[in-house]
Structure 1
Amino acid sequence: MPHTRIAEGLKFPEGPIALPNGDVLLVEIARGTLSRVTPDGAVTVVADLGGGPNGAALGPDGKCYVCNNGGFKWIERDGRLYPGEQPDDYRGGRIECVDLASGETQTLYTHCDGRLLRGPNDLVFDRSGGLWFTDHGKTRERERDRTGVFYAAADGSFIREAIFPLEGPNGIGLSADESELYVAETMTARLWAYPISEPGVVDPRQRRLAAGAARMIHL
């Protein structure tokens, strides 16, 4: 497929958001930043977040909401970066909110029901203004976290665990009519669909397999 290279030197970019003026917001996980790429390829840092900013989405208030996974030990091989185990300076994951005009950053959530967010990965807003997000967890030398999906208010006032357990939940999205929540499970190479009964509420027992694959799914 023909393609055009716009920018180079990005440090493990993810979560691109196309802005009306032609700019693209994205996170650089290995750099720890929320960055802006202009149509001419210039890259500027909007906010230095640290940790491992992983997924991003614009909220109803126009601010950028970021899943921060807390960082990785990075492996460089043949000029490429690969995420590895939980880093030595890991302090947990978090959900952050960035004012795009000032770069001011607010940490909204670090815990749910007294449990540390391990590695928030991706997020999506619904029409009511709430946000769904996955927690991919972290890997250590001999163990890996079992995690799930959360639903939270954008103002930092409410968070609940909506689905548990999942094996490496990664990408997340909503059907056009918001009747179903889609969650990609990396380790099992499955895409699950959950019927939504009301904002933030699903019954995990009613899930259906929307797609399966022979290799890991990230989305």
Structure 2
Amino acid sequence: MKNAFLGRHAGLLVALSALLGAGPVWSQEQAPNQKASDAKVWETPAIEGVVAAGTKIELIKDGFTGTEGPVTLPDGSLIFTETQANRVTRIAPDGSTSVFVEGSNGANGLGFTANGDLYAVQVLKPRVGIIFPPPKVRTLADNYEGKPFGRPNDLVVDQQGNVYFTDSGVNPPAAGQPAPPANQPEPAKPAVYRINNKGALQRLAADIERPNGIQLSPDEHVLYVANTWGEYVLAYDIASDGAIGPKRNFAKLAGWKKTEGGGPSGGGSSGADGLAVDEAGRLYVASNSGIEVFSNKGEALGTIALPKQPQNLAFAGDDKKTLFVVGRGAAYRIAVLTPGFGGRAK
């Protein structure tokens, strides 16, 4: 049986199929391209209910220009953002790739609404908006109280069409690079936001040093936020009116390590980035250690190490029983035992 997301989006699937045939948005598909240097066979440990021991971690392709924001399409294929290349790329079920959206304004995190609008946080001109289908492209928000967003990072769209997103803030200049011009507008501070399905913007939290990945529990009663500079994945209870409760530490990250130039909280980083949930409510976190998996109570269940540090992840494929992971220019897929949550694209 197909998952609920695929069932509710039959119309979108038809529209996407038509576009694939017509070719105005999509480019010619390219065959999978594995690098010969990746001779080592990578396999998973046993994590009960998640992956069987020895499951192969399949390299789909290496050499992408930035890898972020994966989300499933109704046909079980996957799209993700090549932020630095300014495009959204599709991975077909056979592993071939094609361009889904060209000129994405540096899209990073992605999410679909029930009617097929593709929302994206965008970094070239920092904003949140719809980037597909072409007739619906528009900006939803680009500032908070007159201050421009710094670097919108990731988002999740709930089943009512409300958008939760993070703004990680402006990256500090690298060593030797000049500071930004003095007349440049002061950006909004790092924060977590919500745009309700009427279009109203609300700031939910502004006390996280480096908010990054964001996700909802399957029942959409809990909001999870990854703090790249923090030791814990954070959680907030969501009230019926969309307000959130106090911040709490949800899961301790094995990827946390002290660093010379890390975040301000003790000079460290967990590398916590993208988040995903499965049907059982387990939380999957891309971190310095790989893919860390936690129960719906925050208990550590195990870690899947990868050839390259992951940046984001999503379930796709038939019945959402394949975990796709992207990071550092590479894309991988792993067969899992429990499907991803079927009520949303991610």
TM-score by length of 2: 0.51
Structure with greater Cα Rg: 2
Number of the residue aligned with 2:127: 94
Distance 2:154 2:243 in 1: 18
Number of the residue aligned with 1:77: none
CA deviations over 1:142-167 (Å, ceiling 9, x no partner): 89974110000356x31111111211
SS in 1 for 2:85: coil
Amino acid of the structure 1 residue aligned with 2:195: A
CA deviations over 1:104-161 (Å, ceiling 9, x no partner): 6322211122121111111112232211101111212289974110000356x31111
Distance 1:56 1:131 in 2: 10
**Percent identity at matched positions?**
28
Number of the residue aligned with 1:148: 191
Gaps of 5+ in 2: 1-42, 44-55, 180-186, 257-269, 275-346
Q: CA RMSD in A?
A: 2.4
Amino acid of the structure 2 residue aligned with 1:122: D
Number of the residue aligned with 2:251: 211
User: Does the Cα contact within 8 Å between 1:6 and 1:39 map onto a contact in 2?
Assistant: no
SS in 2 for 1:26: strand
Q: 1:162 to 1:95 in 2, by over 3 A?
A: same
Gaps of 5+ in 1: 71-91
Distance 2:236 2:136 in 1: 35
Distance 2:136 2:63 in 1: 25
CA deviations over 1:170-205 (Å, ceiling 9, x no partner): 1111122222111111111321111112343113xx
| Higher mean C-alpha displacement, 54-63 vs 135-144 | 135-144
Aligned-pair distance for 1:42?
2.9
Aligned-pair distance for 1:8?
4.5
Amino acid of the structure 1 residue aligned with 2:190: T
Superposition pairs of residues 102-117 of structure 1, within 5 angstroms: 102=134, 105-117=137-149
In terms of fraction of residues, the more strand-rich structure is 1
Superposition pairs of residues 188-203 of structure 1, within 5 angstroms: 188-203=230-245
In terms of fraction of residues, the more helix-rich structure is 2
Amino acid of the structure 2 residue aligned with 1:19: L
TM-score by length of 1: 0.78
User: Does the Cα contact within 8 Å between 1:169 and 1:186 map onto a contact in 2?
Assistant: yes
SS in 2 for 1:198: coil
Residue 211 of structure 2 is aligned to residue 169 of structure 1? yes
Aligned-pair distance for 1:212?
2.3
